[in-house]
Structure 1
């Protein structure tokens, strides 16, 4: 079960370029993405209404796409406008069009009721495209359910153990208690670790005189979008009070988009606002994040394999799981609300 009336990240802008057709499965639905000749992104069901062949293996003809199974041609709104050897085209001959918005280098798609698709509700990730920040685009594919990855991102106490040579830092980081606040559509997590060792990725881009005060403050909201203010400053310089002297700061932007019940698209960037004229610093930070996320994928995939051996296994909750529980509650609430709305609509039309 997935939330449908929400914005998902479908692709990075650079993945959909020129005259090429691009296909990606989102919440179990095959989607075709391409750009019209004017540059506007189009999202259609990647399944011809005739015999179900994928349009993504078809042919671009101007702003239209032709299915290369039996030659049906569809415009950018999804309407069939040409069928070889058939003058009259049934009005119901069309494929679904999805609302899309391209913003801050991400292409967002709405998989639910188009009438509810409000672009104003797209999460703010402007740091990815802000000239005052630098980052590189990242993508990882997971063969696990997206909620297991959400669990991983909602509890950073794993950092010293899963990421000892990348994002980790000292084990005292795991012992620091985060503050968890419920938001309307997710949770806000605030974690401070004072007088701690800077993690390896931070040591690689700056020489530190000693220990640091480290913070991770982030919103994790439905469907699965993380926006994080993180960083560190020399210990005792006032960072907990908002004085970030000599600090390094980041604005992590991450989005999980379910592909199927057991596979997930993971989009991420880790913008920084220092050493903007040093591309090597950006590459170093990005590679450390990529290495760390590969480490996450290894442990979460191993967890997934273990869980599939015993579908009846019930995870034991610990105090550190507060954010996980609250976010899953928010997800289930949205799914239940959508199910109830669909049932009411069905009754009204029956």
Structure 2
């Protein structure tokens, strides 16, 4: 029998498979350095009938909290989005944003937001091609690994990271936060699964606004990878 072989690594509690052509050396795994040491985590796994681009963009959307999550993390009607201030490079996207009740105030200019962000950790981070991190504080973070199953299905590995070392306390915390994260994520579902076209790479009529800067950065990166010749794009775009 002639079988295709793929390079596979196990790291950070995940299996990483290289879909591209074999190479003498492979790039470093696209993980978050701040999660590499001293953390425990609990994992929830769900599958949605969505294209991975829509799944990712939903988690980069900083303006929907007061509407889609108005009974949970968006409680209080904080519909005023200041920013976001966004930085991006070949590794990923970093987002600083604040949400407040809209009382007619004017937002700060991006230069002011950039100055305020200097030296502080971003609220959201995204590592290409498919890892997302929500900074809940110095001792708690949420991470999602988006795994395309096929063109119409995405699997979410949703993790709550924390620094509680005592397992008698850590396990109940992971269980409660896992339930909470599943519930909050499920509030997004009816919006995400009904977006058209399913692949945002073909969304010619979406109207992006200033609050969508992170989504715009992701689409620009995705477009570059999609339009590259296969021999160039495969090593970066197909990294898992």
Q: TM bucket by the smaller chain? A: 0.7 to 0.9
Decide which of 176, 193, 197 is 1:301's aligned counterpart: 193
Number of residue equivalences: 209
**Residues in 1 aligned to 2:164 and 2:3: alpha-carbon distance in whole angstroms:** 47
Paired residue secondary structure (1:321): helix
Instruction: Please list, as runs of the form range in 1=range in 2, the aligned pairs for 1:169-248 lying within 5 A after superposition.
Output: 169-172=75-78, 174-193=80-99, 217-231=123-137
Paired residue secondary structure (2:41): coil
* 1:145 has 2:36 as partner: no
Paired residue secondary structure (1:176): strand
TM-score (norm. length: structure 2): 0.74
Alignment correspondent of 1:167? 73
Query: Is the contact made by 1:138 and 1:290 (CA closer than 8 Å) also made in structure 2?
Result: yes
Alignment correspondent of 2:177? 285
Greater RCO, CA 8 A, separation 6+? 2
Unaligned residue ranges in structure 1 (runs of 5+): 1-79, 81-93, 196-214, 232-247, 343-350
Alignment correspondent of 1:133? 39
Paired residue secondary structure (1:257): strand
**Residues in 2 aligned to 1:286 and 1:320: alpha-carbon distance in whole angstroms:** 28
Decide which of 113, 120, 139 is 2:21's aligned counterpart: 113
Alignment correspondent of 2:9? 101
Shift of 1:169: 3.5
Larger radius of gyration: 1
Shift of 1:189: 0.7
Alignment correspondent of 1:48? none
* 1:317 has 2:208 as partner: yes
Paired residue secondary structure (1:170): coil
**Residues in 2 aligned to 1:116 and 1:179: alpha-carbon distance in whole angstroms:** 39
**Residues in 2 aligned to 1:147 and 1:141: alpha-carbon distance in whole angstroms:** 14
Query: Is the contact made by 1:186 and 1:330 (CA closer than 8 Å) also made in structure 2?
Result: no
Query: Is the contact made by 1:228 and 1:252 (CA closer than 8 Å) also made in structure 2?
Result: yes
Alpha carbons of 1:230 and 1:138: their partners in 2 closer, same or farther (altered >3 Å)? same
Shift of 1:120: 2.1
Alignment correspondent of 1:335? 226
Alignment correspondent of 1:267? 157
Alignment correspondent of 1:256? 146
TM-score (norm. length: structure 1): 0.53
**Residues in 1 aligned to 2:182 and 2:127: alpha-carbon distance in whole angstroms:** 22
Unaligned residue ranges in structure 2 (runs of 5+): 102-120, 234-240
Shift of 1:148: 0.9
Instruction: Please list, as runs of the form range in 1=range in 2, the aligned pairs for 1:59-78 lying within 5 A after superposition.
Output: none
Alpha carbons of 1:221 and 1:133: their partners in 2 closer, same or farther (altered >3 Å)? closer
Alignment correspondent of 1:245? none
